[in-house]
Chains A and B, each alone.
Chain A
Amino acid sequence: MLKIENLHTTVGETEILKGLDLEVNAGEIHAIMGPNGAGKSTLSYALGGRPGYKVTEGSVSFMGQDLLDLEPHERAAAGLFLGFQYPVEVPGVSNVQFLREAANAQRKARGEEPLTGGEFLKLAKEQAGLLKLDMDMLKRQVNVGFSGGEKKRAEMVQMGILAPKLAVLDETDSGLDIDALRVVGDGINTIMRKPDKAVLLITHYQRLLEVVKPDFVHILSQGRIVKTGGADLALQLESEGYDAVMVA
């Protein structure tokens, strides 16, 4: 589904990703862990096409397409969902309006019929219920006045509504208390744990991985994947720390 080869990315003058290779197949959940400054967020933004994140070398193929050749909104329509570490406020635009425009823009790009107002609201209610987010929250402006936990849950509702093929979730667990972590983790499992979908979880900590069990764990350090293992690698990291595990 996703094949990253020799990816180099610069932000400003600084090269952050220095030849990253990664392959994710349908039905798999991958976790990427790594110390601060390793390039975890840069990887998610490079995949999402954020302006200012310049890919200088390498290739990314997604669902058989050259991902780097697509505009950010085309990547979303192709089935890529980027979960933001810091979800952005959009004043004056309600979640309902935002998501309906997004869902229908994606459908249009794929040559599908738009959802009617009724169809959309039904879908939104289902997904909000799954994440235990009150529908009233969806009538409010996008992320405006939301707590950290509410923003992350709202992101997962977005993911549920947009139904991507691949979700790249950048520190979705940050800012969540234990109960919210469970709700968000269950949401990821319900929405994305499917044979035709895949997840790339970027995280600092093991705790989300207790709910969303990864098939593979990669350690990212200094812009490259330096070690790959199974779910036990995350446990080992938690007890021994990055330095010890990376040397081993």
Chain B
Amino acid sequence: MSDAATFPTNRDEDWRYSDVKALKALDLGTFEDWRDIDVAPGDTSRECFVITDAGEDANVDSDGTHLTRLRVKVGDGGRCELFGVIAGGKFSRVEIVVQLGEGAHFELGGVTLGGRDTTREFVTRTAHEKPRATSNQTIRAVHWGQGTGNFLGRIDVVRDAQKTDAAQSFKGLLLERGASANAVPQLEIYADDVKCEHGATVGQMDEMARYYMAARGIPPELSRKLLVRAFIGDSFVNLDDEAERDRLMDAALFKLEQHL
């Protein structure tokens, strides 16, 4: 995607909201470091990941830069599921390029969280190249301080990919003034019998819901936690593994609790 000979800049469409300065910490070779996930026809593959700078599982320095690049190929009738939390690094980016076979499915559930001056983002490019493939992406971003959460999601549906069903949902929740969230849905559709949905909203905590909870005796810190937990829970609704779901939720909530 990007030219490995030079660093990306904000003029590059895919890096528009990225912290490109933080990228300088990386070796240029890192940009060519794509990991392949190949799902054979009819198979199912699932990966869950947490990028964090808190606790023992730290895999990125809190001032560090993290770049994950995945190239996913799903064979006919196969299924690839990715669920992840990005809660660490000054700049962390998970970039996923997906190519779907006939009747294949791609599922992504992602959460970004962060404060200070951090930037955390999911960037996806999903190619529906055969008929009847489906994809579903649910990203939730919770940020505070000067933190930024981004989702750039491109969907390409080629002319022959009839009966494609692709959905993208992004919601940003900004806990403090100064935080920001950016969503860039990009749909390129060349088939006529397809269903593609995308939705993006950015908002603040629902104060009326918080008052309602207070009127029933729930203190403000607890109502905030319950609402944020409900908000990010959307991303993992389709994760059919309770232990993994708990692990991801716990990682996200741990990050939040340090702030809340």
Residues of A within 8 A of B (CB): 48-51, 71-73, 75-77, 82, 84, 87-93, 97-99, 101-103, 105-106, 109, 158, 162
Contacts and interface: CB of A to CB of B under 8 A. Distances in A.
Contact of A105 (B206, B208, B209, B219): B219
Given A98-B216, A102-B216, A162-B217, A93 B211 contact: no
B207 interface: yes
A207 B234 CA distance: 42
Contacts of A71: 214, 219-220
A91 B230 contact: yes
B213 interface: yes
A88 B216 contact: no
B230 A98 contact: no
A76 B217 contact: yes
B7 interface: no
B220 A73 contact: yes
Interface string B195-228: 0000000000011110111111111101000110
A110 to B, nearest CB: 10
Given A92-B227, A101-B226, A73 B209 contact: no
Interface residues of B, number: 22
A239 B205 CA distance: 46
Contact of B231 (A77, A92, A101): A92
Give 9 closest A-B pairs by Cβ, nearest first.
Answer: A92-B230, A76-B217, A88-B212, A72-B214, A106-B217, A102-B216, A73-B214, A102-B217, A82-B215
Given A73-B219, A76-B217, A90-B212, 6 more contacts: A48-B215, A72-B215, A73-B216, A90-B230, A102-B218, A109-B217
A75 B215 CA distance: 8
Contacts of A82: 215
Which of A82, A84, A90 has the most chain B CB atoms closer than 10 A to its own CB? A90
Tell me if A's interface is mostly helix, strand, loop or mixed: helix
Contacts of B216: 73, 76, 98-99, 102, 158, 162
B233 interface: yes
Interface string B164-179: 0000000000000000
Interface of B: 206-209, 211-220, 222, 226-227, 229-231, 233-234
A93 B214 contact: no
B227 A76 contact: no
A99 B233 CA distance: 19
A92 B233 contact: yes
Contacts of A158: 216
Contact of B234 (A87, A90, A92): A92
A73 B210 CA distance: 10
Tell me if B's interface is mostly helix, strand, loop or mixed: helix
B149 to A, nearest CB: 18
Nearest to B231: A92
A51 B211 contact: yes
B218 A84 contact: no
A76 B230 contact: no
B233 A102 contact: no
A157 B156 CA distance: 49
A50 B211 contact: yes
A226 to B, nearest CB: 28
Contact of B215 (A76, A99, A101): A76
A200 to B, nearest CB: 15
Given A73-B218, A109-B217, A87 B212 contact: yes
Contacts of B214: 49, 71-73, 76
Contacts of B234: 92
Contacts of B226: 93, 97-98, 101
Contacts of B211: 50-51, 72, 88
Contacts of A101: 218, 222, 226
A105 B225 CA distance: 14
A41 B207 CA distance: 18
A82 B216 CA distance: 8
A73 B213 CA distance: 8
A90 B222 CA distance: 14
Contacts of B209: 88-90
Contacts of A162: 216-217
